[in-house]
Amino acid sequence: MIRLAETVPNFRLGQLVCHKRYGYRGVIVDCDPTCKADEKWYQTNKTQPDKGQPWYHVLVDATDQNTYAAEENLQADLSGQPVQHPLLVRFFGEFVDSRYIRNDQPWPS
């Protein structure tokens, strides 16, 4: 049986991103190599991107929300501006060179 290698994520923990379709900015707090959401959630997702790509947990700037976004729907945010989110201090330390430094606090599964 041949096992396909998992896709290497294009974004790193602590990286600033922007959603291509919805325009929100955020910071990547965790990454799954493939979609880990259940089928019911996936079917309610408006875009339904391929499940086999990396999916990211993103803390959304200027809100208390987080999202679960497929890699194809994200792009790097080159603004260099920090985000504001109440969970930043729980998961990140410093903001250095336009990137947050991730701590060891696990993202809830």
- Name the DSSP letter for residue 98: T
Class level of CATH domain 16-102 = mainly beta
59 vs 65: CA distance, rounded Å: 6
Q: What is the mean pLDDT of each run of 10 residues along the chain (109 residues)?
A: 65 98 97 92 85 96 97 97 97 97 94
The model's pTM is 0.90
Half-sphere exposure of 49 (CA within 13 A, CB side): 17
pLDDT at 6: 62
Domains in the chain: boundaries: 16-102
Residues 6+ apart with CB under 8 A from 32: 54, 55, 56, 57
